[in-house]
Amino acid sequence: VLQNLSQTPVLRELLKEAKMPSTIIKIESPELSMEPQLIKLDQPGPLTLAMYQFLTEMQETKKGVVTPKELFAQVCKKAIRFKGYQQQDSHELLRYLLDGMRAEE
């Protein structure tokens, strides 16, 4: 799941912009009839910042191995079911990760 998200350029760009407090981002609709929307973002939450840090580390690392410790810790704070390192479905992780980031907006 995290490898797929790391290869999503729009997500990486939005997270890069969102890490700065009071950032205004422009979202353009593929439909020509709608005007672009300007959205002012507040200070990002800890899950959003951890996601940004992890994706940045994945893209820039020369080590080859990246451990999502901080990101996992933040996910566990939002979804206690992930504590304890038991087997979980990847789609559940994706859902809790994205819902948690959206709740921080």
pLDDT of 6-65, one tens digit each?
888 888 888 887 777 677 777 776 666 677 777 777 778 899 899 999 998 888 867 678
| Residue that has been written with the tokens 């479905």 in this structure | 89
- The pTM is what? 0.73
Contact between 58 and 64 under an 8 Å Cβ cutoff? The reply is no
**16 by DSSP, 3-state: which?**
helix
